Amino acid sequence: MPLASTEEVRNVVSNAEKGQLEWAAMNPQRRGRILLKFVDLVNQNLDELATLLSSEHGKTFLDAKGDIQRGIEVVEFAAGAPHLLKGEFSDSAGTGIDVHSLRQPLGVVAGITPSTSRP
Protein backbone atom coordinates (compact mmCIF):
# COMPACT_ATOMS: atom_id res chain seq x y z
CA MET A 1 0.00 0.00 0.00
CA PRO A 2 1.94 3.06 -1.18
CA LEU A 3 2.29 6.01 1.20
CA ALA A 4 0.01 4.39 3.76
CA SER A 5 -0.52 5.73 7.24
CA THR A 6 0.10 3.54 10.27
CA GLU A 7 -3.65 3.17 10.72
CA GLU A 8 -4.15 2.13 7.09
CA VAL A 9 -1.44 -0.51 7.43
CA ARG A 10 -3.04 -1.82 10.63
CA ASN A 11 -6.40 -2.08 8.85
CA VAL A 12 -4.90 -3.89 5.87
CA VAL A 13 -3.09 -6.38 8.13
CA SER A 14 -6.23 -6.92 10.24
CA ASN A 15 -8.34 -7.60 7.14
CA ALA A 16 -5.67 -9.91 5.74
CA GLU A 17 -5.55 -11.86 9.01
CA LYS A 18 -9.33 -12.33 8.92
CA GLY A 19 -9.22 -13.45 5.28
CA GLN A 20 -6.31 -15.78 5.99
CA LEU A 21 -8.42 -17.76 8.49
CA GLU A 22 -10.98 -18.61 5.81
CA TRP A 23 -8.26 -19.30 3.23
CA ALA A 24 -6.39 -21.60 5.63
CA ALA A 25 -9.58 -23.55 6.38
CA MET A 26 -9.75 -24.65 2.72
CA ASN A 27 -7.80 -27.66 1.59
CA PRO A 28 -4.77 -26.88 -0.60
CA GLN A 29 -6.32 -28.34 -3.75
CA ARG A 30 -9.32 -26.02 -3.49
CA ARG A 31 -7.01 -23.03 -2.98
CA GLY A 32 -5.11 -24.08 -6.10
CA ARG A 33 -8.34 -24.24 -8.11
CA ILE A 34 -9.29 -20.75 -6.92
CA LEU A 35 -5.92 -19.41 -8.05
CA LEU A 36 -6.34 -21.05 -11.47
CA LYS A 37 -9.81 -19.48 -11.79
CA PHE A 38 -8.15 -16.12 -11.04
CA VAL A 39 -5.67 -16.81 -13.85
CA ASP A 40 -8.59 -17.54 -16.20
CA LEU A 41 -10.26 -14.24 -15.25
CA VAL A 42 -7.04 -12.28 -15.78
CA ASN A 43 -6.56 -13.92 -19.19
CA GLN A 44 -10.15 -13.12 -20.16
CA ASN A 45 -9.58 -9.45 -19.29
CA LEU A 46 -5.93 -9.16 -20.32
CA ASP A 47 -6.33 -6.31 -22.80
CA GLU A 48 -8.46 -4.23 -20.41
CA LEU A 49 -5.99 -4.81 -17.57
CA ALA A 50 -3.03 -3.96 -19.81
CA THR A 51 -4.75 -0.74 -20.90
CA LEU A 52 -5.29 0.26 -17.26
CA LEU A 53 -1.72 -0.61 -16.29
CA SER A 54 -0.40 1.30 -19.28
CA SER A 55 -2.37 4.42 -18.37
CA GLU A 56 -1.40 4.23 -14.67
CA HIS A 57 2.33 3.69 -15.18
CA GLY A 58 3.03 5.23 -18.58
CA LYS A 59 4.05 1.88 -20.05
CA THR A 60 3.47 0.80 -23.59
CA PHE A 61 0.53 -1.55 -24.02
CA LEU A 62 2.84 -4.46 -24.91
CA ASP A 63 5.08 -3.79 -21.90
CA ALA A 64 2.03 -3.75 -19.63
CA LYS A 65 0.84 -7.03 -21.16
CA GLY A 66 4.24 -8.54 -20.45
CA ASP A 67 4.06 -7.44 -16.80
CA ILE A 68 0.64 -9.04 -16.44
CA GLN A 69 1.89 -12.24 -18.08
CA ARG A 70 4.73 -12.44 -15.57
CA GLY A 71 2.18 -12.02 -12.78
CA ILE A 72 0.07 -14.81 -14.26
CA GLU A 73 3.10 -17.09 -14.23
CA VAL A 74 3.68 -16.38 -10.53
CA VAL A 75 0.05 -17.25 -9.73
CA GLU A 76 0.27 -20.43 -11.83
CA PHE A 77 3.34 -21.44 -9.83
CA ALA A 78 1.50 -20.73 -6.57
CA ALA A 79 -1.43 -22.86 -7.76
CA GLY A 80 0.98 -25.80 -7.80
CA ALA A 81 1.88 -25.23 -4.14
CA PRO A 82 -0.34 -28.05 -2.81
CA HIS A 83 2.24 -30.49 -4.15
CA LEU A 84 5.03 -28.57 -2.42
CA LEU A 85 3.15 -28.49 0.89
CA LYS A 86 3.31 -32.23 1.37
CA GLY A 87 6.61 -32.11 3.22
CA GLU A 88 9.20 -34.84 3.03
CA PHE A 89 10.35 -38.03 4.71
CA SER A 90 13.87 -39.42 4.48
CA ASP A 91 14.38 -42.91 5.82
CA SER A 92 17.80 -43.58 7.35
CA ALA A 93 19.23 -40.11 6.77
CA GLY A 94 21.85 -41.20 9.27
CA THR A 95 22.40 -44.25 11.41
CA GLY A 96 19.09 -44.78 13.16
CA ILE A 97 17.84 -41.36 12.03
CA ASP A 98 14.72 -40.68 9.99
CA VAL A 99 13.92 -37.12 8.95
CA HIS A 100 10.43 -35.66 8.64
CA SER A 101 9.58 -32.19 7.39
CA LEU A 102 6.20 -30.52 7.59
CA ARG A 103 5.50 -27.33 5.69
CA GLN A 104 3.17 -24.84 7.33
CA PRO A 105 2.13 -21.36 6.20
CA LEU A 106 3.46 -18.34 8.06
CA GLY A 107 0.19 -16.45 7.88
CA VAL A 108 0.02 -12.79 6.92
CA VAL A 109 3.32 -11.27 5.83
CA ALA A 110 4.17 -7.87 4.37
CA GLY A 111 6.82 -6.45 2.11
CA ILE A 112 8.16 -2.95 1.65
CA THR A 113 8.92 -2.42 -2.01
CA PRO A 114 10.10 0.53 -4.05
CA SER A 115 7.39 2.66 -5.61
CA THR A 116 6.98 2.43 -9.38
CA SER A 117 4.75 5.48 -9.62
CA ARG A 118 5.99 8.49 -11.52
CA PRO A 119 5.64 12.11 -10.45
Query: What would the pLDDT profile of 83-98 be if each residue is shown by its tens digit?
Result: 777 778 888 888 989 9
Q: pLDDT: is 105 or 30 the higher one?
A: 30
Number of DSSP helices (H) and strands (E) in the chain, helices first: 5, 2
Q: What is the pLDDT at residue 116?
A: 58
Q: What is the pLDDT at residue 119?
A: 46
116 belongs to a structural domain: no
Which regions of the chain does DSSP assign to beta strands (E)? 88-94, 97-101
CATH of the domain at 48: 3.40.605.10
Q: Residue 68's domain spans which residues?
A: 6-101
Q: What is the pLDDT of residues 14-64, one digit of tens each?
A: 999 999 888 888 888 899 999 999 999 999 999 999 999 999 999 999 999
- Cβ contacts of 96 within 8 Å, gap of 6 or more: none
Q: Give the number of domains in the chain.
A: 1
Helix ranges, the chain (H):
6-25, 28-44, 46-57, 61-79, 81-84
Do residues 87 and 103 lie in contact, with contact meaning Cβ atoms separated by under 8 Å? yes
Q: What predicted TM-score, i.e. pTM, was given to this entire model?
A: 0.68
